Amino acid sequence: MKLEQLAGNEALKRQLSAQAKGRGLSHAYLISGPAGSGKRTLSRLLAAAMVCTGEGEAPCGICPGCKKALGGIHPDIMVLGEEDKEITVGQARTVRSDAYIRPNEAPRKVYLIQNAQNMNPNAQNALLKLLEEGPPYAAFLLLTDNPGALLTTVRSRCEGLPLSPVTAAEAEAWLARRFPHRSPEERHAAALGCGGLLGEAVALLEGDGADGRWETASTLLTALARGDELGLMEQAVGLEKWERDKLAALFEELIALLRDALALRVGGAPLCPPSCREAVEAVGTALTPGQMLQCVKQLEELRRATTYNVGAGHLCGALAAGLARVRG
């Protein structure tokens, strides 16, 4: 399996790769670990692998199934529990009913249950039969930072995938790919201060203010300029915990940077912070004016969508998929 986006956890990655080459991926996994340990990253990669229709190792990252899965828009992947609220028996019964409808286009149908510890006992019991003997094409990915909160009968029907904190060296290597515009000293400090949890390292580098948003916007534009679709997807996953108003501000800043890139193409002067200049020049060189205008249009639509009751996960998936389509 292609699991390079998941930092550290080498033994777990070897285990999954051996399964994929041998008997195939399991029908149910319990992915556990503290916040920031990579549960969402691993679940996205597993889901993409299960719906991948490309050749070679999965997820290939380039077939339509992978692109839709990593962009959060695949019709055969259902996500529950994105918000930290109780998951009810009604939601579990919806999953149970849907699981017996064959996949729309993929080899498998994947149910990704985030914050699985929030399933009440009735909801967990409603899923037991599915976890034990559901349809052969159905797969379940349960994510939790507290596996002990799940019923023993649920845990016993899933294969455990416990994620471990990464080393400082692994964190620093990952941060170099994610934050190429930050200084080595800043990345080193974040790697040492995150306690092996990459989510914490991201929070340390991004902060909550405008500087963090400009940094994120620059990183997204750099991935766009390179045509790095997997990089765009990885960035989008990291934004899923952002509040809608913070996402709206990010979309505004992306629009501003793209307009700067358009200005550079006709000899104008950019207005962006100096730290963003390299990314603006890269995207201005790599994209045509028409492609940049297309990106601006998509970002304006996403900015308007933040005023409605649209989840951050859907907004971020649409962001990555939309930008990737421009380069496609």
| Model pLDDT, residue 49 | 95
Q: How confident is the model at residue 237 (pLDDT cuts 50, 70, 90)?
A: confident
Note whether 191 and 168 are within 8 A (CB).
yes
Answer positive or negative: Cα dihedral of 243, 196, 167, 13: negative
Q: What percent of the chain has pLDDT over 90?
A: 52
**From the CA atom positions of the chain, what is the Rg in Å?**
20
Statement: residue 211 has pLDDT above 60: no
Angle between helices 244-265 and 277-286 (to 10 degrees): 60
Statement: residue 191 has pLDDT above 70: yes
What Cα–Cα distance (Å) separates residue 241 from each residue in 84, 178, 238, 315? Answer: 11, 17, 7, 11
Statement: residue 121 has pLDDT above 80: yes
- The DSSP output letter for 6 is S
> Which residues are 30's β-sheet partners?
142, 160
**Stated pTM of the model:** 0.68
When the pLDDT of each residue in the chain is averaged and rounded to a whole number, the result is: 88
In whole angstroms, give the CA distance from residue 202 to residue 224: 20
**Hey, what are 112's tokens?**
């990704």
Q: Which domains does the chain have, with CATH numbers?
A: 10-162 (3.40.50.300), 207-327 (1.20.272.10)
Residue 223: half-sphere exposure toward Cβ, Cα within 13 Å: 25
Q: Degrees (nearest 5) of the Cα angle 197, 203, 205?
A: 105
**Hey, what are 118's tokens?**
């929030």
Note whether 254 and 236 are within 8 A (CB).
no
**Hey, what are 230's tokens?**
């997997």
Taking only the tens place, the pLDDT of each residue in 266-308 is 888 777 777 788 999 999 999 999 999 999 999 999 988 888 7
In whole angstroms, give the CA distance from residue 226 to residue 279: 10
Q: For 112, phi and psi rounded to 5 degrees?
A: -105, 110
| Model pLDDT, residue 212 | 67
Note whether 148 and 160 are within 8 A (CB).
no
| Model pLDDT, residue 232 | 84
